[in-house]
């Protein structure tokens, strides 16, 4: 007789972060996580950059705490207080001096594992460096994969998680295209890709996905130009089963809140899509912005690191 599949009640949190206001953002995350527990969730997932929000703001990197900073202590406290599993990503400055976008997963007894996002996206390249770990965490016999934002968009993420995990957790800080006349329908297509990404990824990787997100407006510098970026975050907190069926979803226009669903853990046959880099096709404008901002951002990050090293001497 086969074993009965394990089902968990999971919550994906959607926030409207205030860029760089760590105290306010942590208070919001704590409040929403507490609400999720009241709704019966035993797994709670916070967004990427849950402590800071995301935008091109160099202070996010310069002021990144160590791995045991306030954001980490909040996750640890939530897990211990409620007896739950909880995770989210935050910028940390590691002992080697590098800043990384670290997803930390806690259980009631403490830290269970960490995944560092592999490729910073666009202006994120100016804020942190990428990681190289496989993003698989063992939780009492359940293999949990982690994927953050555009990691959900790439076939190489499917290659490291496909057929290997029973659940994927993660989140996004996906921003809109600028509302410039020459961009035409680029933002409509960008929003469609953002909101489809968790379900598309679930079908490819063959495991359920719990995806947290940011909504709300954001204004910041526009990396590599004298312009200001004014836009919004695409939202789309959602929970999908292993076939990519959306079990619960929150639109960006619904603002902050939570979605909760019962999720059956387990693996199906993955679809690797190894013939291309992206799981969804990228438009010309988005592809050009990706390459430009990544190149400029790496240079900015390297200069900032060199400056910090010089000051430390």
Exposed / middle / buried, residue 133 (Cβ in 10 Å: 0-12, 13-18, 19+): middle
In this prediction, the residues of the chain whose per-residue pLDDT falls under 70 are: 1-3, 182-184, 273-275, 312-313
Exposed / middle / buried, residue 135 (Cβ in 10 Å: 0-12, 13-18, 19+): buried
pLDDT at residue 90 in the model: 98
pLDDT at residue 182 in the model: 67
List beta partners, residue 217.
232
Could you tell me which of 195, 45, 48, 191 has the C-alpha nearest to residue 128?
48
pLDDT at residue 1 in the model: 38
Structure tokens given for 73 = 């202590």
Query: Is residue 156 within 8 Å of residue 127, measured between CB atoms?
Result: no
* Interval 194-250: pLDDT, tens: 999 999 999 999 999 999 999 999 999 999 999 999 999 999 999 999 999 999 999
Residues in the chain, overall count:
313
Q: Which domains does the chain have, with CATH numbers?
A: 7-312 (3.60.110.10)
pLDDT at residue 312 in the model: 67
**CA atoms of 207 and 205, how far apart (whole Å):** 6
Determine the distance from the C-alpha atom of residue 119 to the mean position of all C-alpha atoms in its chain, rounded to a whole number.
12
Tokens 């989210």 sit on residue: 88
pLDDT at residue 295 in the model: 95
Within 8-100, residue ranges assigned H as helices are 22-38, 59-62, 70-82
């Amino acid at each position: 007789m086969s074993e009965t599949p394990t089902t968990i009640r999971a919550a994906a949190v959607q926030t409207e972060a205030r860029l760089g206001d760590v105290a306010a953002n942590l208070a919001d995350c704590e409040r929403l996580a507490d609400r999720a527990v009241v709704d019966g969730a035993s797994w709670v997932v916070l967004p990427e950059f849950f402590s800071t929000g995301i935008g091109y703001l160099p202070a996010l990197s310069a002021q990144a705490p160590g791995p045991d900073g306030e954001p980490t202590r909040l996750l640890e406290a939530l897990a211990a207080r409620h007896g739950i599993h909880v995770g989210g990503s935050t910028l940390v400055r590691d002992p080697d001096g590098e800043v990384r976008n670290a997803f930390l997963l806690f259980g009631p007894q403490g830290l269970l594992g960490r995944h560092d996002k592999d490729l910073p996206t666009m202006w994120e390249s100016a804020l942190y460096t990428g990681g190289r770990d496989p993003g698989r965490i063992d939780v009492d016999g359940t293999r949990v994969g982690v994927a953050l934002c555009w990691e959900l968009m790439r076939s190489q993420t499917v290659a490291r998680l496909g057929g290997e995990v029973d659940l994927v957790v993660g989140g996004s800080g996906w921003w809109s295209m600028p509302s410039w006349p020459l961009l035409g329908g680029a933002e409509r297509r960008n929003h469609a890709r953002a909101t489809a990404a968790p379900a598309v990824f679930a079908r490819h990787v063959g495991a359920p996905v719990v995806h947290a997100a940011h909504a709300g407006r954001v204004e910041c510098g526009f990396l590599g130009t004298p312009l200001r970026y004014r836009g919004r975050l695409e939202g789309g907190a959602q929970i999908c089963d292993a076939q990519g069926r959306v079990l619960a979803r929150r639109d960006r226009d619904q603002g902050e809140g939570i979605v909760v669903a019962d999720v059956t853990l387990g693996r199906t046959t993955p679809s690797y899509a190894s013939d291309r880099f992206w799981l969804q096709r990228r438009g010309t404008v988005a592809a050009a912005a990706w390459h430009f901002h990544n190149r400029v951002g790496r240079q900015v990050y390297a200069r900032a690191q060199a400056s910090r090293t010089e000051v430390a001497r």
